[in-house]
């Protein structure tokens, strides 16, 4: 491996300034409006010397992709990516600094998206610009993709790019993917799958003063909820070494019309997360069997059963050569070996791993701060992440 590249304070200031500019262009999802941010990223990629593309799976879903073609007509393509959307900021009064001001205070960049994940996007784009400024030319392709709708598990972001967007635009298929989610500069290599299930229980309406004349759908829903607790018991006894036990969460419950009426329906939504070797389909079948048993034993009537999200767990081997190379680079840049860990969802990495493209999460920021008020990323993380992205590109894409 060549000598590790470092960046100067002036170069770090450029990373911080781009991060501030991205934070100051809000992209809360919902509604997921990218009209202002996509052009900013497109022009910034072009200024960095990338061939930039707007790739839309839908008219209002403009993914922005930049590529630096290597000198070899055949070879690999390193993909760095981040999503442009952020979750809602909530009450601004709860923030120490305005959520979309992009303030630099206390050695941190503050704001919604700082860690999740506009800080990483800024690091990636600036890393490419810095490599070009230093006269480097790649042998293999280097690509950056900024995607839409990750926060709502949308289908027009990385899923679209992998399945048709890249090929439709004549762009190469990635061979390794680094997703810049906040990892505290560690490596995420194992990811839980999930299934989201909607269940509606049918009851019978009656006067609230004569409940025995009706069938209380909410109470029947509670019976289901109690039984669902046992769904992941086996996993709790034998948890995954990186991901821990599987989980089952009752996320929403809605039923009834007023206090003095026996509710005729109850709608519940469940989020079930699992690690390998378990699968989404396994839990879907478990829930079906459970509802069938409750229907037979207690007469609970199910009027709706709907699976509206289904992802299997995915992982990459820590022994993968590119993962080992990235780990070595992180060690040299940061001065410590990164931890190899698991997390509760693969995000955009799901689509590349499912397509047989190995990859990891690596990015600046502390995972525990995302989706919360006072989101922020340490300036030192921005420096170190930029240096890692530079050096992994230099190593995997090689010098022409």
Residues 5-56 have pLDDT tens digits of: 999 999 999 999 999 999 999 999 999 999 999 999 999 999 999 999 999 9
pLDDT band at residue 228 under the 50/70/90 scheme: very high
Choosing among 3.10.20.80, 3.40.630.10, 3.40.190.10, 3.40.30.10, the CATH entry for 9-190+314-396 is: 3.40.630.10
Q: Which residues pair with 53 in a beta bridge?
A: 65
Average pLDDT over residues 133-140: 96
| Domain locations along the chain | 9-190+314-396, 193-311
| Residue 255 predicted with pLDDT over 90 | yes
Average pLDDT over residues 188-211: 98
Q: Give the 3-state secondary structure of residue 14.
A: helix
Average pLDDT over residues 244-255: 97
CATH of the domain spanning 193-311: 3.30.70.360
Average pLDDT over residues 225-243: 95
What is the per-residue pLDDT across 102-124, written as a single tens digit (0 to 9) for each?
999 999 999 999 999 999 999 99
Average pLDDT over residues 174-186: 98
Which carries the bigger pLDDT value, residue 74 or residue 157? 157
What is the signed CA dihedral for 36, 42, 46, 49, rounded to 10 degrees?
130
H/E stretch holding 350: helix 349-354
Phi and psi at residue 277, to the nearest 5°: -90, 10
> What mean pLDDT is reported for the chain?
97
| Alpha helices, DSSP H, located in 134-279 | 158-160, 166-168, 217-228, 233-237
- The reported pLDDT for the residue numbered 388 is 98
Average pLDDT over residues 343-351: 97
Average pLDDT over residues 73-84: 92
- The reported pLDDT for the residue numbered 204 is 97
Domains 9-190+314-396 and 193-311 share a fold: no
Alpha-carbon Rg for the chain, nearest whole angstrom, is: 24
What is the per-residue pLDDT across 286-295, written as a single tens digit (0 to 9) for each?
999 999 999 9
pLDDT band at residue 360 under the 50/70/90 scheme: very high
Average pLDDT over residues 338-347: 97
Q: Taking Cα atoms as reference points, which of 145, 139, 153 lies closest to residue 50?
A: 145
How many other CB atoms are there within 10 angstroms of residue 260's CB atom?
8
Phi and psi at residue 397, to the nearest 5°: -85, -15
- Rounded Cα distance between 233 and 16, Å, is 46
- The reported pLDDT for the residue numbered 9 is 98
- Rounded Cα distance between 301 and 295, Å, is 6
| Residue 180 predicted with pLDDT over 60 | yes
The tokens for 3 are 């000598």
pLDDT band at residue 74 under the 50/70/90 scheme: confident
pLDDT band at residue 97 under the 50/70/90 scheme: very high
| Residue 174 predicted with pLDDT over 90 | yes
- The reported pLDDT for the residue numbered 176 is 98
- The reported pLDDT for the residue numbered 75 is 81
- Rounded Cα distance between 137 and 69, Å, is 9
- The reported pLDDT for the residue numbered 2 is 64
| Residue 73 predicted with pLDDT over 80 | no
pLDDT band at residue 400 under the 50/70/90 scheme: confident
């Amino acid at each position: 491996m060549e000598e590790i590249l470092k960046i100067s304070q002036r170069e770090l200031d450029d990373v911080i300034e781009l991060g501030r500019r991205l934070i100051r262009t809000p992209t809360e999802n919902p509604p997921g409006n990218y009209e202002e941010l996509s052009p900013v990223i497109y022009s910034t990629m072009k200024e960095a010397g990338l061939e930039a593309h707007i790739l839309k799976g839908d008219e209002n879903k403009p993914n922005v992709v930049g590529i630096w073609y290597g000198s070899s007509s055949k070879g690999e393509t390193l993909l760095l990516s981040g999503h442009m959307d952020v979750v809602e900021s909530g009450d601004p009064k709860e923030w120490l600094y305005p959520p979309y001001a992009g303030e630099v205070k206390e050695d941190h960049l503050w704001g919604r998206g700082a860690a999740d994940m506009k800080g990483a996007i800024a690091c990636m784009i600036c890393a490419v610009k810095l490599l070009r400024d230093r006269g480097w030319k790649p042998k293999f392709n280097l690509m950056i993709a900024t995607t839409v709708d990750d926060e709502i598990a949308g289908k027009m972001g990385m899923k679209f790019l992998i399945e048709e967007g890249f090929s439709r635009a004549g762009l190469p298929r990635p061979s390794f993917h680094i997703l810049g989610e906040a990892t505290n500069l560690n490596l995420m290599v194992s990811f839980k799958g999930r299934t989201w299930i909607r269940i509606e229980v049918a009851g019978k309406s009656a006067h609230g003063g004569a409940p025995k004349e009706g069938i209380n759908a909410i109470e029947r829903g509670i019976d289901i909820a109690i039984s669902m607790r046992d769904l992941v018991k086996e996993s709790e006894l034998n948890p995954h070494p990186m991901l821990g036990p599987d989980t089952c969460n009752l996320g929403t419950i809605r039923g009834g019309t007023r206090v003095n009426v026996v509710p005729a329906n109850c709608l519940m939504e469940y989020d079930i997360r699992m690690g390998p070797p378990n699968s989404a389909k396994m839990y879907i079948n478990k829930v079906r069997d459970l509802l069938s048993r409750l229907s037979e034993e207690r007469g609970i009537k199910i009027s709706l059963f709907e699976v509206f999200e289904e992802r299997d767990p995915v992982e990459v081997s820590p022994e993968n050569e590119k993962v080992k190379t990235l780990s070595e680079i992180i060690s040299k840049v940061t001065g410590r070996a990164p931890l190899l860990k698991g997390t509760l969802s693969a995000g955009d990495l799901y689509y590349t791993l499912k397509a047989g493209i190995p990859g990891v999460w690596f990015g600046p920021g502390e995972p525990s701060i995302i989706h919360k008020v006072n989101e922020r990323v340490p300036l030192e993380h921005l420096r170190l992440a930029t240096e890692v992205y530079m050096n992994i590109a230099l190593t995997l894409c090689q010098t022409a």
